[in-house]
Amino acid sequence: MTTHEVPQALTVDGFRVRQSFGVGTLSRNATVMGVVALTADGLIGTQAPLSLLVSLPVTGAVIGLAAARRHGMTALSYYWAKFAWKRAARYDATSYRRLLLPHPYALDLPGVGASSTLIKAHDPTSGRPVGVVHDRATGYMTVTTLLAPGGSLMAPTGAVQSSLRTWSSVLDAMSTDEQVKGASVTIQITPGAGEALEDDVAARKDPAAPQLAKQIIDELVRTTPHATASVAPWMSVTVDPTAAVSAPADLAEQVAEALRVVDTVDLSGTGTDIERRATDVDLRRIVRAAYDPDVFNARDREFRDLSWSECGPQAADDGWEEYAHDGGVSVSWVLREMPRRPVAYSVLLPLLAPGRFQRRITLSYRVLDPHEGEAVLEREISNAYQRAQATAEVKGRARWSQKADAARAEKAAAQVASGAQVVDWTLAVTATARSAADLPAARQELARAVSATRGIRMRPAYGAQAAVFASGLPIGYNPLVKD
C-alpha cells in the first residue's frame, strides 16, 4: 500500500463548485449583461448605424473575455483585477507604512484587519485570560482555540471514521446556530523551534528527575532548534453576539456572549486535542511573528506590552503575486478546484510536511443553514440540467462532464435530505521567505507541495496577497463571512 492508497472507507468526496446557468460557458450574470449590451447596440444602431462598427467589436470582445477562462476564473475578472491592482499601485494604495495617527486606534492593522481590535477578557470556565478580537465595523467577535499538533495516520480505520463523523456533527451544530458566522482552522509549520522549545521543556521538566536525564534533555534542547519544526494549529470561530435573543447591552456582555457561544462548539471526538483558549499574548505572538518571522521564537514577555497596532507590520507592499512585509516576503495561493473523484482523508499531508520556509495552511468554513443549503442544491440541480439540455439542443447530446456534474448535484441533494450539511469552504496556503532572494525557492517549494497532493488545484492569489495572508491569522477576518 502506497502513501496515497487508503481504504475506501477513509475517502471523502462531494466537492463541487457552484455554477449558474448561462449561454455556453457564460455565467447567468454575464449572459444577462451580454443580452442587455447587444440590445443597447441594436437600439443605438437604428439611430446611428456607423456606431455599430465600434460598439459591436467592443461588446464581442467583452463577451469573449467573459466566456474565456484564465487561472480558474473568467478572463474578464482576471484582467479587470489586474487593471484595478495596477491603478491602485499607481496611487501607492498597495503600500502601507505605519504612522502615529492623531485618533487612537484609528488604524491598528492594515487592510482587512483595519477595523479589528484586541480585547483581553477573563474566561470564567477556565479561570484564565483569553484574547477576543472585536471587529468594530460589523460587531463580530472572533475567539481562537489553540490545538495540540497530532495526527491520525497511525490510527485504526474505525477511529478515523469516528473522527470524521464527529467533525460532521460539529458542522451540523454550527449550521443551526445563528450566532456562529464562520470558522477557520490554521496549521502553521515553522522550521526551527528556537527558544520556544526551551521554554516548553523548562516548564515540563521534573526537578526530581535523575541528573543524567536532565543533562540529556538540556543537550537535546541546545542542539535541536535548527533541526526541528514547530507546528502550531489553531481554530478561530467568528460569532455575532448581538444575534442572541436578548441582545447584550454593552461590550463586556458581548464578550461574555461570544465566549459562551464558542464553548458550545465541542471538538471532543474529532481527533483534535484542545490545548486552551488563546490568550491576548498568544494572539500578539501569532500575528507579530507572521509579519516578522524572526520573532516567532521569542519569549512571551516580549509580547505582553505590545499594542495591537504594533503586532502589524511597520511597512508592507502588496504585490500582484507576493506580499513584502517586515521580516520577509510571502506568497499566498488559494484553492482553484478540488478533485472530482474521492480523495484520501490525508490528502493535505504534502502541504503539512515541513520544508525550508514557514508555511500556513488555512481551511475557512461557512456552514449554510439547512433551508439555505437545500435551496442552493435544488438551484444547482436545475442549472446543471439546463446546461446539459442547452448543449444537447445545439450539439445533439450533452457532454459527459455535464451529465456527471448533474449526477454529483443530485447526490449532494440526497445527502442533504439524509441529514448532511452544505458547507462553503476554501483553502489558502501562505509560504514566507526571509528575503526576496529566497522567494523563488519558496514559490517552487509551495508548487511542489501542491502538486504532491495529486489532484488539488491551486493558484496564486492574484492582486489579493495581503488579504489572503491575513485570512490565515486570528484577526477576525474570514473571506466567507459576509457583513
For residues 225 and 203, the model is more confident at 203
In this prediction, residue 3 carries a pLDDT of 46
Closest CA to 360 of 311, 296, 302, 310: 296
In this prediction, residue 239 carries a pLDDT of 93
Question: C-alpha grid cell for residue 115?
Answer: 477595523
Query: What digits encode the pLDDT tens for the residues 106-127?
Result: 557 888 888 899 999 888 777 7
36 neighbors 44 (Cβ within 8 angstroms) = no
Q: Residue 192 corresponds to which amino acid?
A: G
206 neighbors 456 (Cβ within 8 angstroms) = no
Q: What distance in Å separates the CA atoms of residue 93 and residue 192, rounded to the nearest whole number?
A: 35
pTM: 0.83
Give me the percent of the chain exceeding a pLDDT of 70: 89
Among 22-26, 156-160, 417-421, the range of highest mean pLDDT: 417-421
> How confident is residue 332, by pLDDT bands cut at 50, 70 and 90?
very high
Q: Which ranges in 104-187 belong to alpha helices (H)?
A: 157-175
In this prediction, residue 59 carries a pLDDT of 79
In this prediction, residue 133 carries a pLDDT of 94
Whether pLDDT at 280 is above 70: yes
Query: What digits encode the pLDDT tens for the residues 409-450?
Result: 888 888 888 777 888 889 999 999 988 899 999 999 999 999
434 neighbors 327 (Cβ within 8 angstroms) = yes
User: Which of 146-155, 190-199, 204-213, 245-254 is least confident?
Assistant: 190-199
Q: For all residues of the chain together, what is the average pLDDT?
A: 82
452 neighbors 350 (Cβ within 8 angstroms) = yes
Q: What distance in Å separates the CA atoms of residue 47 and residue 430, rounded to the nearest whole number?
A: 55
Average pLDDT rounded to a whole number, residues 94-101: 76
Give me the percent of the chain exceeding a pLDDT of 90: 22
Q: Which ranges in 309-458 belong to alpha helices (H)?
A: 349-352, 370-395, 400-417, 439-452
For residues 245 and 156, the model is more confident at 245
For residues 29 and 427, the model is more confident at 427
Residue 218, helix vs strand vs coil: helix
- 361: β partners: 187, 429
User: Which of 80-84, 97-101, 452-456 is least confident?
Assistant: 97-101
Whether pLDDT at 198 is above 80: no
Whether pLDDT at 312 is above 80: yes
239 neighbors 215 (Cβ within 8 angstroms) = no
In this prediction, residue 1 carries a pLDDT of 39
Average pLDDT rounded to a whole number, residues 218-229: 68
Average pLDDT rounded to a whole number, residues 307-312: 86
Query: What digits encode the pLDDT tens for the residues 346-396?
Result: 788 888 888 889 999 999 988 888 888 888 888 888 888 888 887 887 788
Q: Residue 258 corresponds to which amino acid?
A: A
Q: What distance in Å separates the CA atoms of residue 94 and residue 86, rounded to the nearest whole number?
A: 9
Query: What digits encode the pLDDT tens for the residues 38-95?
Result: 788 778 878 877 777 777 788 778 877 777 777 777 888 888 888 999 998 898 888 8
Instruction: Tell me 64's DSSP state.
Output: H
